[in-house]
């Protein structure tokens, strides 16, 4: 059995991850990419169970992974195009006024539509979800890791806040929350 000394376990790369070096791309929202200001790599957890014991329960590893929501903040452009694209996606899913909103979104508004038929799906429900990629960049803006999200869709869109009494003028920023099936992390 070979043993490693402390010197052989030292890291060979000492640069830190920068919180500003990323790029987010989602097929359904091409006008959001440029204005993205923050996002996260969601947490993941696994459930556990406990085996009864007369003294103290013994934890046992579970078998169901749970992914946290993905949140994204972006600056709203002057004509609200990026905000309205997410608003349209949510109203297309929930059709609060009529079923025609769903049909219109699926058939004409969706950027994904039936283009992705690799999973054998040609009925149009692929237009309700979109794959996305969060690319983590090095300090020199080179891609080093991709976080690939599958079947993402928005569940909440923040409010637009207008205020005449504001002393400094800063752009309106809104956050949106997404659900998805799963994500994978791939080193490039």
What is the per-residue pLDDT across 80-139, written as a single tens digit (0 to 9) for each? 999 999 998 998 888 778 778 777 777 777 766 444 444 434 345 667 899 999 999 998
Residue 159 bridge partners (DSSP) = none
Conformation bin of residue 55: beta by default, left when phi > 0, alpha when psi is -120 to 50: alpha
Residue 176: predicted pLDDT: 97
Q: Is the pTM of this model over 0.95?
A: no
What is the per-residue pLDDT across 154-181, written as a single tens digit (0 to 9) for each? 999 999 999 888 788 889 999 999 999 9
pLDDT band at residue 2 using 50, 70 and 90 as cut-offs:
low
Tell which residue, 154, 165, 146, 122, has the closest CA to residue 29. 154
8 A C-beta contact, residue 24 and residue 133: yes
Q: What domains can be seen in the chain, in order of their start residue?
A: 17-43+64-115+122-160+169-187 (2.30.110)
Tell which residue, 103, 111, 104, 106, has the closest CA to residue 27. 111
Residue 25 bridge partners (DSSP) = 133
Give the end-to-end CA distance of the chain in Å, rounded to a whole number: 33
């Amino acid at each position: 059995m070979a043993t490693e000394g402390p010197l052989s376990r030292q890291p060979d790369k000492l640069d830190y991850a920068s919180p500003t070096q990323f790029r987010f791309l989602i097929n359904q929202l091409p006008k959001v990419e440029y204005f993205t200001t923050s996002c996260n790599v969601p947490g993941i957890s696994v459930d556990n169970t406990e085996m009864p014991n007369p003294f103290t329960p013994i934890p046992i590893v579970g078998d169901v992974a749970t992914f946290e929501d993905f949140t994204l903040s972006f600056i709203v452009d002057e004509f609200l195009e990026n905000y309205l694209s997410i608003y349209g996606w949510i109203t297309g899913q929930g059709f609060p006024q009529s079923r025609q909103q769903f049909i219109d979104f699926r058939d004409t508004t969706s950027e994904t539509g039936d283009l992705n038929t690799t999973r054998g799906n040609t009925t149009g429900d692929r237009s309700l979800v979109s794959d996305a990629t969060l690319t983590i960049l090095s300090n020199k803006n080179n891609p080093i890791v991709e976080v690939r999200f599958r079947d993402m869709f928005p569940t909440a869109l923040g409010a637009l806040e207008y205020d005449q009494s504001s002393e400094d003028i800063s752009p309106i920023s809104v956050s949106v929350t997404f659900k998805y099936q799963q994500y994978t992390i791939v080193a490039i």
